[in-house]
Chain A
């Protein structure tokens, strides 16, 4: 490149002449490509959205067989205290027979099998010095409330598996909120949760 400086006006050598034009157009194109990124990235969730506050749920107020729907990160979540029959039903399912065998639980390692133990509040973290009754943890199921098909909120205690039934396109979830039949591809996701007292769980 330096030798060209000696003959700035020459333009005798066609390849060298073309090189500079290609370099100029190329550099402009590369710069243009970089400029596009801020315009795209600004539509991603902003820092305040990403940092959205957590949600606390008082489990003591929820009776057996009752589902409470809470908002967490602007999305509804089911918090259900299941009956013993429902827990037994969920535990009796062979994981290998499930359409989605992944626990879909961010509290445990990714890809863990979708057993009921891996889905229930037994997987929730527990703050230091807090004692939580294991039976209580096993009874509670906390999951996202938007069908993994196209985002409708399924109806509770309905469907062929006594769990949830999505009225939009007919997905059936069982008592562990796992997909059993219908177009939905995945189990309802389990949000990050921590017991901050014996009966209070914090989502997020």
Chain B
């Protein structure tokens, strides 16, 4: 079987060598490398960063992009931007204040059968910027601003793609690229043309924690926040993963030992 092992290894090598070349052949730029607190097997979310990212979402992105699969209370769950130990999401004062400031929500019917508007609560979903896709398209020149709930998992390149895209408006388009009015050149976008105008200008957000809101800082924070919305249980996943790995490796050792003991008596 050694021959087979060698051949398999060689085949894997060929594929590994070929893969980057195949990527570069695509028609968009690879997202820029960047360092994140949640990288690697032990990385965790940075709560201050998530809170700033939420502020960017709330004050900039939410005008056009929804977070349809999230409720406000999610931000108070363990690992979330506003999680406080021992406080249930429903009782979280920071979230109650955030909910109250958001657009009212339609509820009902009341005792007379009419729908009515009331203050948004922690248990309610994030407000949707448009009532339906048609309205979203007509408000955006035919383009549909995607929902951001799982955007990091829904795009190749994930977190780094989001950050690069938001900062990628400053580059010169190639001369042969035809960009229609209302569209913008952005090399990180698939097809290199994007309908979303640049958003992150100096000073568009004033951070509550006093951090200077440079475009780089905002892009970093919103990318981190959207990573959290895409995978709110990432911290728990890695924590449990460590325990499971330690357990399995110990069990592996025990079983191998046991295996050697049992087979020590026979030639095989």
* Chain A residues within CB distance 8 Å of chain B: 4, 8-11, 17, 20-21, 23-24, 27-28, 31, 47-48, 51-54, 58, 61
Contacts and interface: CB of A to CB of B under 8 A. Distances in A.
Contacts of B71: 48, 51
Nearest to B260: A8
Contact of A21 (B77, B122, B261): B261
Contacts of B29: none
Interface in B92-132: 111, 121-124
Q: Which of A23, A24, A52, A53 gathers the greatest number of chain B CB atoms within 10 Å?
A: A24
Given A11-B264, A61-B111, A53 B251 contact: no
Contacts of B264: 9-11
Given A9-B264, A17-B261, A24 B123 contact: no
B258 A24 contact: yes
A27 B260 contact: no
B47 interface: no
B135 to A, nearest CB: 26
Nearest to A58: B111
B212 to A, nearest CB: 35
B261 A52 contact: no
Interface residues of B, number: 23
B123 A51 contact: yes
Nearest to B259: A24
Contacts of B265: 11
26 contacts: A8-B257, A9-B260, A11-B261, A11-B264, A11-B265, A17-B261, A20-B254, A20-B257, A20-B258, A20-B261, A21-B258, A21-B261, A21-B262, A23-B258, A24-B251, A24-B254, A24-B258, A27-B251, A47-B73, A48-B71, A51-B71, A51-B90, A53-B123, A53-B124, A54-B123, A61-B111
A113 to B, nearest CB: 28
Interface of B: 71, 73, 77, 89-90, 111, 121-124, 247-248, 250-251, 254-255, 257-258, 260-262, 264-265
Residue with the highest number of chain B CB atoms closer than 10 Å, among A9, A20, A31, A48: A20
7 tightest A-B contacts by CB? A24-B254, A24-B258, A9-B264, A53-B123, A51-B123, A20-B258, A27-B251
Contacts of A61: 111
Given A17-B261, A24-B254, A51-B89, 5 more contacts: A20-B261, A21-B258, A24-B255, A51-B90, A53-B123
B60 to A, nearest CB: 27
Contacts of A28: 251
Nearest to B263: A9
Contacts of B258: 20-21, 23-24
A52 B121 CA distance: 11
B251 to A, nearest CB: 5
Nearest to B122: A51
A31 B255 CA distance: 13
A20 B262 CA distance: 10
Counting chain A CB atoms within 10 Å of each CB, the highest count among B121, B258, B264 belongs to B258
Contact of A31 (B89, B121, B247, B262): B247
Nearest to B89: A51
B90 A27 contact: no
A53 B121 contact: yes
Contacts of A47: 73, 77
Nearest to A5: B257
B82 to A, nearest CB: 14
Given A8-B260, A47-B77, A52 B123 contact: yes
- Which of B77, B90, B257, B260 lies at the interface centre, i.e. has the most chain A CB atoms within 10 A of its CB? B257
Nearest to B240: A38
Contacts of A21: 258, 261-262
Contacts of A53: 121, 123-124
A58 B90 CA distance: 22
B77 to A, nearest CB: 7
A20 B111 CA distance: 71
A161 to B, nearest CB: 30
Contacts of A23: 254, 258
Nearest to A22: B258
A24 B260 contact: no
Of B257, B261, B265, the most chain A CB neighbours within 10 A belong to B261
A28 B71 CA distance: 40
